[in-house]
Chain A
Amino acid sequence: MKIDKFDKLLGLLLASVLIALVLVLWQGSDRQAGTAKAVADRVMERELTYQARVALLQKLYGPVDELRRKGELQTALLKLDEVSRQYPGEAHGHVLQAEILHEMGVLEEALASYVAGIRLNGEYIDRKSPLSRREAISRLVTEGERDIVSRAKANPANRTLATALTNINYLKSRLAGGCE
């Protein structure tokens, strides 16, 4: 291949650009500590945002948890309604409602509430999340299977029981894991 003047010019320009790129990256690596700090800052920021959210949820829903601890479940539900008015669509409200309804023995509604909460935010089913409710959900699924599956089999045309079964199966699938 014959190399002419234009090829040489292009080669020169390419070499200049590559040198400039190396210099820029070199300067960037000189500020390695800064970059690493920026990365660490970003990670920290994410972590702080996350912790702040968890803390905010605990503060907002604290009165509900307090009433639950005292065993005042129905008052806790009413208090939850008040908080949910301010923050509709917040997954935590659904999850708390599920827990209270589970304690009160209202299994089908508890299942529906967990499903609503987890569909909004999958953290509640994650193993390592501080908001994880895996154990409680597993218990509910086990109880629900014992109660609802037999009733659904006895009443195959009952759509309410079919919906409850769908919710159980969804929670089972989420508990099993997968890409979500």
Chain B
Amino acid sequence: MNMRDRDLWMVILSGLALGTLGVMLSVWGNPANSGICVSCFIENSAGALGLHNNPRMQYLRPELIGFLLGALASAAIGREFRSHGGSAPLLRLIAGIFLIIGCAVFIGCPIKLLLRLTAGDLTAVAGVLGLVCGVWIGIKAAVNGVELGSQRAEKTGSGLLMPFLFLLMLAFLIMRPDFINFSSQGSGAEAAPWVAALAIGFLLGGLAQRSQFCITGSIRDLIMVGLRSYMPWGLGTFLASALIVSAATGRLHLGLYGQPGAHLEHLWSFLGMLLVGWLSILLGGCPFRQLVKAGEGNTDAGLVVVGMFIGGGIAQSWGIAATAAGVSMYGKAAVLAGLAFVLVVSLLFRKRGTL
């Protein structure tokens, strides 16, 4: 490992920023242990856009907008913006739905999973195990020829569609037209100041685009090549910084019970995150990475993001999202449906005789 390699330090910086700011956003007003949670933010934003009517979860999260636009800006500056896509687009949209379903049943995306863990929430352990297992299964599937097909270059405009839509959301956030919902109670009303949140999202999106940092990608690299890859270093930095900042801000409460936004159905935490891990490998990144890739002009990732918004809407509308009381029957059925989906995809999208 070359300690002078700029890429290494970029990854470490990304991890450091994500871990530190992930906790600080919670200190500055975001829900407890949810300083950054792509799935929760998508559910909130879906509610703001009217995709569900849970009055407690409606807010256009500026962080989400910042992630994508920050990635766009970084890609543009680094001349890395390229419109490309065309690899099983509809399937990716559906996969995006199940990505959020998996997160909603656990109550958190892979970033929140680790933020919860570093805040002492031991219920996240089952989720970590599930995520690692899911990534491992995804790797095995990839090794056995499961892939969604290659992408091709597209006309420049197509890659700008998602950034345009997110710019529109930014306009909605600032202008607050009456068709956009804003919660006055519940977790949707808990938010860091929007300018700070947007700026932080922008910074993190840019750093993630530069470094290509991704939680599930880090786990994948750790399994496949160990510490020779830079990604696990970013993951380690993320964990360390989040743990230190949690402790320093008095948000470290070690235990299984009484944790914010956590339930005790460990099996479903495991399965939800297993689904997320597996899908993330199939799609080439966790929910956060999908946003960053969409900002880079990846239209397939853009469709995953659209699918995630749909998933955010139905997770709330159909009672799929878990709560502190536990996982509903619909949530369990949805996770199992997601696992069936990814199994069918693995069967159908497999290049046989590759190994």
Contact = CB atoms under 8 A, between A and B. Distances in A.
Check whether chain A touches chain B (CB < 8 angstroms): yes
Contacts of B263: 173
A172 B34 contact: no
Interface size class of B (residues with CB under 8 A): 20 to 34
A180 interface: yes
A119 to B, nearest CB: 6
Interface in B65-108: 107-108
Interface size class of A (residues with CB under 8 A): 20 to 34
B185 A177 contact: no
Residue with the highest number of chain A CB atoms closer than 10 Å, among B177, B260, B324: B324
B186 A176 contact: no
Interface string A165-180: 0100110111111111
Contacts of A50: 184
Nearest to A125: B186
A59 interface: no
Interface in B174-202: 176-178, 184-187, 189-190
A47 B186 CA distance: 15
B323 A180 contact: yes
B258 to A, nearest CB: 3
A35 B180 CA distance: 13
Given A38-B178, A179-B37, A180-B323, A172 B261 contact: no
A57 interface: no
Main secondary structure of the interface of B (DSSP, over half): loop
A39 B190 CA distance: 21
Nearest to B177: A39
B185 A129 contact: yes
A169 B258 contact: yes
Interface in A42-77: 42, 46-47, 50
A122 B178 contact: no
B242 interface: no
B258 A176 contact: yes
Nearest to A141: B258
Give 5 closest A-B pairs by Cβ, nearest first.
A178-B261, A172-B258, A177-B32, A178-B260, A176-B260
Interface of B: 31-34, 37, 40, 43, 56-57, 107-108, 176-178, 184-187, 189-190, 253, 257-264, 323-325
7 contacts: A122-B186, A123-B186, A173-B263, A177-B260, A177-B261, A179-B57, A179-B107
Interface of A: 35, 38-39, 42, 46-47, 50, 115, 119, 122-123, 126, 128-129, 166, 169-170, 172-180
Given A173-B257, A173-B259, A177-B190, 15 more contacts: A35-B177, A42-B178, A129-B185, A169-B257, A169-B264, A170-B324, A173-B262, A174-B324, A177-B31, A177-B187, A177-B260, A178-B32, A178-B34, A179-B40, A180-B187
